[in-house]
Structure 1
Amino acid sequence: MTVVSQSPEETRSLARQIGEGLKGGEIVLLYGDLGVGKTVFVQGLAEGLGVPEDYYVVSPSFSLINEYPGRLRLVHVDLYRLEPAQVEDLGLEDYLEKDSVVAIEWAERLPSDLIPEEAILVRMQYLKEDQRRLEITLPPRQHTP
C-alpha cells in the first residue's frame, strides 16, 4: 500500500490505525532519511497500542531502546548510531514477545539475516515540506487499516 501523507498528523493517524490492528509479536521496520517522520509514525503506533498519553514517545537515539506500556508493550529501537555488526549485539530477539510490538527506526542498518519475513515494512520518502510518501508492506496475515 502506498499513501501520500500531507502532514505529520496524517502520518500519525495512519500509524495509529495500524497500531490498533496489531495483536502482538509484530515487528515494524522503518526506513527513510533523517527527518522524514519515522518517530512521528512510531508515536501514532503508540497511540494505537494504547500507550498512555503521559508517556512522551521520543526517538531513542542515545539509549537505543525505549519501552512503553500499553494494550501491548511498545519496544522502540533506533539503530541510527550503530553499524550493522553492532546491531547483532543488541539482543533484539529478547524483545520479540507475543505481548509486544517492536518498532525499529533506521532498519536499513539491520543485517538482512535479522529481518523476519513477517515484518511490517514502512518506507518513508520526503516529497516536500510536510508531504511524505509511505510505502507500507504488510505480511499476508496482516489486514490493511
Structure 2
Amino acid sequence: MPILETRTQHWPDEGACAAAARELAARPAVAQAYIELHGTLGAGKTTFVRHLLQALGVTGRVKSPTYAVMEAYEPAGRKVWHFDFYRFNDPQEWEDAGFRDVFASAGLKLAEWPEQAAGLLPVPDLRMELVPLSGDERRVTYSACTPLGLELLP
C-alpha cells in the first residue's frame, strides 16, 4: 500500500481523542473517505469512531458492530458505514452482505480490524494506527494512502 505522508499525534486522554475526531469531522473530504483503524484490543478504535460519529451528528448510542460486522448511519443526510471485521472469516460473507456495493457507493466508510478482510478491501484513504501507552494515553499514526487521505491528515 502506498503511503504519501505520515503524521503522529499523542493523545494524553480521551478528551484528546474526541478533539481529534472533531477535527477530522470538520474536514469536507471525510464525507467520501475510507478510513482504516488498526490497533490491539482496547487501543481505542471504537472510542475514536464513536467520537467521530457524534461529531458528524449521530445521536443516540453508537455501538461496535463486532457481531453485526456493519452499522449504517445517516447523520445530516450523509451516508456513513462503520465496519468491525474482528470476527470476519468468510470471504463469501463479503459478497452475500453486499459489502462490495457499499464500498463502491458514496459516503464515509470506517473499518476496524481491516486485516481480517485483507484482499477484499480497497486501498484506504487514511490509515490510523492506535497504540496504547500508559493509562488513557495513545500514540496515533496517520498515514495518507491517497490524495483524499492527504486532505484528512491533522
**Class of the TM-score when normalised by the shorter of the 2 chains:** 0.7 to 0.9
Q: Determine the C-alpha separation between the residues in 2 that align with 1:44 and 1:70.
A: 13
1:134 positional shift: 0.6
Residue 87 to residue 18, structure 1, CA distance change in 2 (3 Å): farther
Structure 1: stretches of 5+ with no match in the other structure: none
What does 1:53-68 correspond to in 2, within 5 Å?
A: 53=59, 55-68=60-73
Q: Which residue of 2 aligns with 1:43?
A: 50
Q: Which residue of 2 aligns with 1:129?
A: 135
Per the normalisation by structure 1, the TM-score is 0.84
1:32 positional shift: 0.5
Out of 108, 111, 118, the residue aligned to residue 101 of structure 1 is 108
Q: Determine the C-alpha separation between the residues in 2 that align with 1:12 and 1:87.
A: 33
Q: Determine the C-alpha separation between the residues in 2 that align with 1:74 and 1:17.
A: 17
Q: Determine the C-alpha separation between the residues in 1 that align with 2:141 and 2:28.
A: 18
Contact 1:87 1:110 survives alignment (8 Å): no
1:6 positional shift: 0.9
Structure 2: stretches of 5+ with no match in the other structure: 1-6
1:93 positional shift: 2.5
The C-alpha deviation readout for 1:25-50, integer Å capped at 9, x for no partner, is 21110100001100111112213322
Contact 1:30 1:104 survives alignment (8 Å): yes
The C-alpha deviation readout for 1:37-66, integer Å capped at 9, x for no partner, is 001111122133222x3x211111111111
Q: Determine the C-alpha separation between the residues in 2 that align with 1:2 and 1:87.
A: 34
What does 1:7-26 correspond to in 2, within 5 Å?
A: 7-23=13-29, 24-26=31-33
Q: Determine the C-alpha separation between the residues in 1 that align with 2:50 and 2:84.
A: 13
| Count of residues in correspondence between the two structures | 141
> What is the identity percentage for the equivalent residue pairs of Structure 1 and Structure 2?
26
Q: Determine the C-alpha separation between the residues in 2 that align with 1:56 and 1:28.
A: 21
Q: Determine the C-alpha separation between the residues in 2 that align with 1:121 and 1:130.
A: 21
Contact 2:125 2:147 survives alignment (8 Å): no
Contact 1:49 1:74 survives alignment (8 Å): no
Q: Determine the C-alpha separation between the residues in 1 that align with 2:120 and 2:83.
A: 18
1:80 positional shift: 0.6
**Which segment is superposed worse, 57-66 or 104-113?**
104-113
